[in-house]
Structure 1
Amino acid sequence: MEKLKILFAVVFSVATASAASLGVVQTEGGGVQGLNIPLGLLRSVDVFKGIPFAAKPGTFEKPQPHPGWDGIRKATKFASRCLQISMLQTSSFGSEDCLYLNIWVPHGRHVSSGLPVMIWLYGGGFLVGGSMGPNFLNNYLYSGQEIADKGKVVVVSVGYRVGTLGFLSTGDSLLPGNYGLWDQHAAIAWVHRNIRSFGGDPDNITIFGESAGGASVSFQTLSPHNKGLIKRAISQSGVASCPWALNRNPRKAAEEVAENVGCPADDRMVACLKSTDARNLTMAVPRVAQGSPDYPGVTNLLLSPVVDGDFLPDRPANLFHNAAEVDYLAGVNDMDGHIFTLQDIPSLGDKNQETPVEDVKRLLTAYTKEMGPAASEIAFAEYSSNWGSTPSQDSIKRAAVDIGTDYIFLVPVQTDIYLHAANARSGRTYSYRLSEPSLMAGPGKPYHDWVGADHMDDLQYVFGKPFTTPKAYGDRHRDLSGFVIAYWTNFARTGNPNKGNLKVPVTWPAFTSTEAQFLDINAKMNESSTGRDMRLRFVRLWTSTLPSLPSYGAADAQ
């Protein structure tokens, strides 16, 4: 037995010694050295943490090039995440010096070269978020290791400014905003210039992100500043058309921040804000109030990108020609709106409490208030059309979740998928819906047993958590994670999720303006997992029927 152990040890040490490593890598700023993590027989991943892609940014200024460093920089520790408010909005943490990125490079027997590159943009409502180390309960959700190793791609995660420092704007040239988007762009440009030294192909960059990160991906493809830098893009549960993704009245939030830090709201405001301590500015963010059916939480997100005439020269819907050559894959979770609607109508989540029909009507009234007085009645008639005369609590609660999912995520994502396909030249388009039931749903668990894929449920599968923390998951979740990593990395490699290094369970049909096909992703996929015209009736309701009602135009123009 002892001899066997020694033999295994010798074999393992030979294998890991034979697995390649980059060693010191030369970047435009200087040399960096990461860590090499052996993963078994002739497989390893080089990890570089905390490489600066820009200098410490000035308050409300675009990012500037990093001055570089002497000697070899140890890239073995995550940098701080960008300065932001805590989830409870009672304190702040992080640093102004936060424009860093992390890189995962997989190797076999030989050092990798020419690999596809995937750049991750995190979510967090443009208010919070980070990819620098543990996200929640000491769990590092955004480790690129599994994607890199399984898909044979280089994975990069980046920091970008959020909250007041990232997205405050006066709506004019004095304080144009979009600083967080400029940070993302600077990171993409840095990767394009430097990734070849890490074994990546600078001409095959895919950006991917979720929620506000998915919307960021969308904005990056629409901006003329990224021409030639991005080959492909993946938006998960968030696009430029989402109602929370673009701020149409930024001045309001700027004046509220100014008032909170004691700055005047006149022509001295911008100079005063720029000279205010960054932590005070961060804490002065307009409070995100607890939602209610009359004031849904998602309508409280007052710091987000703006049409600034520069990064976004026009409204997003008019910029899709800039993404005409970009392959685009986008989709939603089938109950993306669940956690948000739960905040607005707390009775939804209580298995022993009834949700009044009136609450569903109030939620619809809040979402349709700019569309004229008849809008909520027309919408309610659609969502309650299959209820019968005495609707069950499940019917009422599910309708509320459907309304939240459609309004906040699904309809805008479908809108942008249609726009991409209509404007595409060489770029291909793919649409999906993730329908794997929530791990929190079922008997003895907090969620109703009908709850499907909630917001953020996709992240664990994309980043391979069922493989890295196997005890928390079953075999079906490992199957699903394998499917998602295969589709995502095949797409990054070839622009077609079906073609690449990894086998997929079902052929994913492309989305075109005439054939609006999508893939339904879950652990039990088969040939019937494809569909067309995702929730078309409700997409038409929100994009055509309601906006064409009288008085909508007047309210929208204000």
Structure 2
Amino acid sequence: MYNVASTVLYLLVFLTTAVSVTWALKDYVIIATNSGQVRGEVVEKGVGQPKAYISQFLGLPYAAPPIGHLRFRPPVPHLGWNRIMDVVEHGNICPQNTTLWKQRMNPEVFKARIQHNFTSEDCLFLDIYVPRNLKKWVNPAELKLPVMVYFHGGGFQQGSSMMYGGHWLAMEGDVIIVVVNYRLGVLGFLSSEYANMGGNFGLLDQLRSLEWLKDNIGHFGGDSNQVTIFGQGAGGASVSFHVLSPRSKTLFHRSISQSGVALMPNITQYNSTLMARTLTERLNCTRNTSIEEADCLRLEVDVKVLLNISRQVAEELNDQWLPVIDGDFIIGDPLSTFHTLSYNLVPYVIGVNSHDGFPVYENKLNLKPEEEVTQKILADTIRDTVKRDYEEVVDKVSKVTEMEYSTCVQNDTQRKAALVDFLTDYTIGAPSYLAATLHRVTGAVTYFYEFSQRPSYKLTNESIPSFVQASHADENDYVFGYMKYVIQNTTAEDHELSVAMMRAWTRFAKTKSMDGWEESLLAVEPGKDPLVKSNDLDKTSPGNLQNRAKWEKLTAKNENYFVFTTDLNEHSSHKKYRHVQMAFWNNYILSMRDGVCRAPPPVIVRLHESSTHGRKLTPNPLAAELAAANTSRTVLIVFLILFIILLVVIILVLCWIRYKKKNKKDEDPKREFSKAFEPPESSDPNHRGNHVDSSPRGSDRADDSDSDDPEEGKGGKARLLAFRDCVRQKTSACFTCSNEEESDGIHSKADDEPTENHRLRSPIEVETDEETKPMTNHATDV
């Protein structure tokens, strides 16, 4: 007995010593957050010199545990803690079926990343990866590093932050990476109006994590004003929901959606009321009041029973526990919200994989590689896929879709390829491009990409058809650096593509733009070639570096998008992503949702170059509503331009009229005529000066002025002065004087009757007479 006790004691001492030594060898760092102090770990990553150090904080709580009365409620802030909390291991996994992880993850990634499979409702944790040894920083807030927050995919049913280590992405891009856990399945998305449960708890968890990071990321060296949210699949759709939600405003500043947007079909619950009512009945929680029902669902149902019954209900009703339009976080139909242009207009990168629909193909058909896909299977799959979104016109939609994807298809391989193409375009491709187009219309910075590289470790997988290039989620192995640092037996080209994508994602997080990112691809390890290769460009010419692998914005004029493959070069930039298929779905098929099939306008038949079937079809232009914002803006600009032109014309016309009036006034013959009667200026009142009469009758007046009758001379002078004043006043009476005045004022008093020759004439008549009368010498003295 004594020996046994001694042995146990020695073992305890040994274990205690081993643990102490292990803790002593590890390098820990303590950070004070608003909730309390946390102790993270500094780890060494990377190869070569110098070594890269990452400060990681795993399983850090950002909200109170959603258990008990907090089940089926929005998250609430954590109450905090008094002691130092160790955050060196991943937190609990949100309740789900983890047995499917091995089927969907690379075995080496699964082994490297999955540390445990503990599930619990207490799962609201996040992991932080900082590319610094924070132990050496007295004040980490001085770092001001950009922050990238990742929301995992899994159809809102599966996934965990544990699956995505941010070490390599943080190290390659010099940014802080944060990976978030959020509630899934029925626990995250049960919505019951009767039980006063609004739903969308998983999305509200993400919102709470962004609020926590805004208040605390500065303690870890992050900049709360440079936050990029990104995600894949359901995580990409989550990013899209945050972009559209007013509640997420100011919490992030850039966004990246990988193979997932809010416009995807089947991304929201089809009948949330029926789902909730059926679940409540199956769980025997039907009560007289909504409060009693809610208490039953929160407090009386075991989580395992809840998960099992919820899966059965989803299968029976052919639905899933997904987000709902609650009028709070998701304020309305996502397509309508995009059209309002009143959402978070942040720079946005949206992308797809070339064969995103392949997993859907596998799940729907469950065929072995040797089994054939007949024309009937193709037609039935199309109908079954579109019937939910186009229930009222399913016959028309399925028929034209079958024609679109089966024209010129002649064998089994082509039918399989056509089916995967259909599932890719319908479920992810067309919605993603529509979201990018609508976001671009607002004037916000928008980029689009296609990932088309088949991972090298899948090349020998016979269960994947040869025509499949990049399946759903394949890009994540490159974005998180697994292809270079984790997965074995990969190629150098895989490594280069992985580095290129990590640098692209992190450059966007730093600068809000992809401009110039291709230049970063030239900075590689010493002795190795640049990541971008070109046979016809001089690698040493700085001027040509800008033409390599350039990723341009998505614009209405060029419709640029970038294709990621292992062969990155100046030809990686393309235009008009699958424009035939995008027009088919985003214009022609969408127009049938109201139950009316609108025939597309006639256009030129074009051959889509990237089609795997070489088929021809008639594309339709983008729907008119896509350019509604551009149209209104164009109309306003045209109106302003026309108004300015009209205003300038009016001003010019007024100036011209004024100018003509002034010239007419200066050249008025009446004024010239009146000047003829101006008395000469002289100091002598008796001096009349030399005056040349411009009138043709000047000789007559000269004769009269020499008359011996002084009264006659005075009368003539008075009449001339009166006539001058009359002319100055511009009255018509000046030119039609009375007969008596004409005879008395101009000619001899002996004349009793006025004649035409004696009438005083206007200057026009004078000029006419001067042309006909011979020249005579007139007196110069009046």
Residue 16 of structure 1: aligned partner: none
TM alignment of 1:467-506, pairs within 5 A: 467-499=484-516, 502-503=520-521, 505=532, 506=549
Q: Structure 1 residue 404 and structure 2 residue 423: aligned?
A: yes
Does the C-alpha gap of structure 1 residues 429 and 64 become closer, same or farther in structure 2, counting only changes over 3 Å?
same
CA 1:216–1:324 in 2, change beyond 3 Å: closer, same or farther? closer
The count of residues paired between Structure 1 and Structure 2 equals 510
1:335–1:452 Cα contact (<8 Å) kept: yes
2:330 to 308, 312, 316: 312
**Residue 42 (structure 1) shift:** 5.3
Tell me how far apart the structure 1 counterparts of residues 366 and 64 of structure 2 sit (CA, whole Å).
44
Q: CA deviation at 1:383?
A: 0.9
Partner residue in 2 for 1:183:
205
Q: How big is each residue's C-alpha offset from its partner over 1:33-89, in whole Å with a ceiling of 9 and x where there is no partner?
A: 111012352531100011111111211111111111112211111110112244579
Separation in structure 2 between the aligned mates of residue 22 and residue 444 of structure 1, nearest angstrom = 42
Of residues 250-259 and 169-178 in structure 1, the stretch that sits farther from structure 2 once superposed is 169-178
Aligned pair in 2 of structure 1 residues 519, 173: CA closer, same or farther (>3 Å)?
farther
Scaled by the length of structure 2, what TM-score is found? 0.62
CA distance in 1, matches of 2:215, 2:485: 32
- Alignment of 1:98 with 2:104, yes or no, is no
CA distance in 1, matches of 2:273, 2:505: 39
Paired amino acid for 1:517? N
CA contact 1:432–1:519 (8 Å) conserved in 2: yes
Is the contact made by 2:243 and 2:344 (CA closer than 8 Å) also made in structure 1?
A: no
Alpha-carbon distance in structure 2 between the residues aligned to 1:436 and 1:23: 40
TM-score, normalised by the number of residues in structure 1: 0.85
Q: Deviations over 1:121-152 (max 9, x none)?
A: 01111112111x3xxxxxxx400000000110
Pairing 1:338-417 to 2, within 5 Å after superposition: 338-347=358-367, 349-350=368-369, 352-369=370-387, 370=390, 371-387=393-409, 391-417=410-436
Taking the TM superposition and a 5 Å limit, the aligned residue runs for 1:126-525 are 126-131=156-161, 133=162, 141-170=163-192, 174-264=196-286, 268=290, 269-275=293-299, 276-287=301-312, 300-320=318-338, 321-347=341-367, 349-350=368-369, 352-369=370-387, 370=390, 371-387=393-409, 391-424=410-443, 427-439=444-456, 442=459, 445-499=462-516, 502-503=520-521, 505=532, 506-525=549-568
Q: Does 1:121 align with 2:121?
A: no
Whole-Å Cα distance in 1 between the matches of residues 268 and 222 of structure 2?
33
Query: Which runs of 5 or more residues in structure 2 are unaligned?
Result: 1-26, 102-116, 523-531, 533-548, 598-782
Which structure shows the bigger proportion of residues in strand conformation? Answer: 1
**Residues 170 and 249 of structure 1, relative CA distance in 2, 3 Å threshold:** same
Cα shift at 1:537? 1.7
CA 364–75 in structure 1, closer or farther in 2 if over 3 Å, else same? same
Identity of aligned residues (%): 32
Deviation (angstroms), 1:105? 0.3
More helix per residue: 2
2:82 is aligned with 1:82: no
* Inter-partner Cα distance in structure 2 for 1:470 and 1:102: 22
C-alpha contact 2:54 2:131 (8 A) present in aligned 1: yes
Secondary structure, counterpart of 2:130 in structure 1 = strand
Secondary structure of 1:247's aligned partner? coil
Deviation by residue 1:293-314 (Cα, 9 ceiling, x = unmatched): xx9xxx9452111110111111
Contact 1:177–1:306 under 8 Å retained in 2:
yes
Q: Which 10-residue stretch deviates more, 97-106 or 497-506?
A: 497-506
Query: 1:457: Cα distance to partner?
Result: 0.6
CA distance in 2, matches of 1:288, 1:519: 42
**One-letter identity of the residue aligned with 2:358:** H
Q: Residue 272 of structure 1 aligns to which amino acid in structure 2?
A: C
AA matched with 1:415? L
Given that residues 232 and 258 in structure 2 are in contact (C-alpha distance below 8 angstroms), is that contact kept between their aligned partners in structure 1? Answer: yes
Which stretch shifts more, 307-316 or 102-111?
A: 102-111
Tell me what 2:58 maps to.
49
**Is structure 2 residue 42 aligned with structure 1 residue 36?**
yes
> Structure 1, residues 317-343: CA drift from partner, whole Å, max 9, x if none?
233435443111011110010011122
Q: Secondary structure at the match of 1:373?
A: helix
Deviations 1:387-446 (A, max 9, x none): 2xxx1222111001001111111111111111211234xx31110110002546556632
Which piece of structure 1 moves more, 462-471 or 158-167? 462-471
Query: For the aligned residues, what is the CA RMSD?
Result: 2.6
Task: Tell me, in whole angstroms, the C-alpha distance in 1 between the residues paired with 2:442 and 2:195.
Answer: 30
The answer for the alignment partner of 2:77 in structure 1 is 65
Whichever of the two has the greater Rg, that structure is: 2
SS at match of 2:395: coil
Q: Which moved more, 1:525-534 or 1:166-175?
A: 166-175
| Inter-partner Cα distance in structure 2 for 1:288 and 1:314 | 26
Distance 1:169 1:514, change over 3 A: farther
